[in-house]
Amino acid sequence: MAEQYFSADPSSKDVRRTLHVQLRGHDTEVEVSNGVFSGSRLDLGTSVLLKQAPEPPEHGNLLDLGCGWGPIALSLAMASPEANVWALDVNERALELTALNAKRNGCGNVRTVRTDADALPVEPDAISPDLTFDAIWSNPPIRIGKEALHTLLMNWLPRLSDTGTAYLVVQKNLGADSLIDWLSNELGDGYAVSKYHSAKGFRVIEVSRTA
Q: How far is it, in rounded angstroms, from Cα 82 to Cα 85? A: 9
Residue 87 pairs in a beta bridge with 64, 112
Q: How far is it, in rounded angstroms, from Cα 203 to Cα 173? A: 10
Nearest alpha carbon to residue 168 among 157, 181, 155, 184 = 157
What pLDDT, on the 0 to 100 scale, is given for residue 12? 53
Q: How far is it, in rounded angstroms, from Cα 73 to Cα 46? A: 11
Strand order in the sheet with 26-33: 3-9, 12-23, 26-33
Give the CA distances from residue 175 to residues 39, 71, 85, 203, in Å, rounded to whole numbers and listed in that order.
24, 23, 28, 10
Q: Where are the domains of the chain?
A: 42-209
Q: List the pLDDT tens digit at each of the 211 positions of the chain.
A: 333 333 333 345 778 899 999 999 999 999 999 889 888 889 999 999 999 999 999 999 999 999 999 999 999 999 999 999 999 999 999 999 999 999 999 999 999 999 998 899 999 999 999 999 999 999 998 888 889 999 999 999 999 999 999 999 999 999 999 999 999 999 999 999 999 999 999 999 999 999 6
What pLDDT, on the 0 to 100 scale, is given for residue 6? 33
Q: How far is it, in rounded angstroms, from Cα 169 to Cα 163? A: 20
How large is the angle between the packed helices 71-79 and 92-104, nearest 10 degrees? 30
Q: How far is it, in rounded angstroms, from Cα 195 to Cα 211? A: 20
Q: Residues 23, 27, 105, 92: is their CA dihedral positive or negative?
A: positive
- Looking at domain 42-209, what is its CATH homologous superfamily? Vaccinia Virus protein VP39 (3.40.50.150)
**pLDDT tens across 156-177, in order?**
999 999 999 999 999 999 999 9
